[in-house]
Amino acid sequence: MQAAHSGKRSGYLSWDDYFMAVALLSAQRSKDPSTQVGACIVNSQKRIVGVGYNGFPTGCSDDTLPWSREGDFIDTKYPYVCHAELNAVLNSVPGNLTGCAIYTALFPCNECAKVIIQAGIREVVYLSDKYAGTDSVRASRHMFEQAGVACRQLEPANPVVTIRLSENG
Ligand SMILES: O=c1ccn([C@H]2C[C@H](O)[C@@H](COP(=O)(O)O)O2)c(=O)[nH]1
Ligand SMILES: [Zn+2]
């Protein structure tokens, strides 16, 4: 077979890397000092239909609610923060998420797993699995398995994606 010589640019992003990069770019909006998570929902036509990152609910101040991990539950971020996957579902364009894939920086917790399954999302593509082995992630995996939601860890073709916002510097 003849090699293609169309002059097409090489080094362009694969679909997987592109959607994960969108998730990671969204994560840059997170105010969480320890773990920034972004998520990007994609339909079967490869169209992005929702993005989100972890943050406090609308109207709840990033400057007054706590960002700490330790202490009394009420004084930590955990009761307040909306997870990236939940936000991506809630932010999605009105319609049907059935059959969509979600790209997420972190393997979803059990609460997000429920949201993903109930939304009809059929595939989870994740990068970090840093909470593997916790009860939360074990429960997620259990639910995904039962519900037939496919999970795969992305092996990026491009380990670094550079975005330059200024022509200078
Ligand atoms: O499925 C998930 C799980 C966690 N998050 C968010 C919630 C928190 O803001 C951080 C986790 O903070 P740690 O300090 O690492 O405990 O990640 C999420 O968005 N989605
Ligand atoms: Zn979660």
Q: Which residues are tagged catalytic?
A: 85
Looking at residue 4, its pLDDT comes to 60
Looking at residue 1, its pLDDT comes to 42
Looking at residue 5, its pLDDT comes to 78
Looking at residue 168, its pLDDT comes to 85
C-alpha dist (Å) from residue 142 to 103, 107, 118, 123? 19, 13, 15, 14
Q: Amino acid identity of 10?
A: S
Please name every residue paired with 53 in a beta bridge, in sequence order, or none if there are none: 38
112: annotated binding-site residue?
A: yes
Q: Which of 103, 107, 109 to mutate to test the pocket of ligand 1 (most atoms within 8 A of CB)?
A: 109
Ligand nearest to the Cα of 82, by number: 1
Q: Amino acid identity of 128?
A: S
Name the residue ranges covered by the structural domains of the chain: 15-153
What per-residue string of b and e applies to 144-163 under the rule 16 or more CB within 10 Å gives b?
Answer: beeeebebeebeeeeeeeee
Strand order, beta sheet including 123-128 = 48-53, 38-42, 101-106, 123-128, 150-153
Looking at residue 3, its pLDDT comes to 52
Whether the complex's predicted ipTM is more than 0.85 is answered with yes
83: annotated binding-site residue?
A: yes
* Ligand 1 neighbours by CB, cut-off 6 Å: 32, 34-35, 37, 54, 69, 77, 81, 83-85, 106, 108-109, 112
Atom nearest to 109 CA in ligand 1: 1
CATH topology assigned to domain 15-153: Cytidine Deaminase; domain 2 (3.40.140)
Q: What is the pLDDT along the chain (169 residues), one digit of tens a residue?
A: 455 679 999 999 999 999 999 999 999 999 999 999 999 999 999 999 999 999 999 999 999 999 999 999 999 999 999 999 999 999 999 989 999 999 999 999 999 999 999 999 999 999 999 999 999 999 999 999 999 999 999 999 999 999 999 998 6
109: annotated binding-site residue?
A: yes
Centre of ligand 1 from the C-alpha of residue 15, in Å = 25
Cα angle value 20/148/15 (rounded, 5°): 20
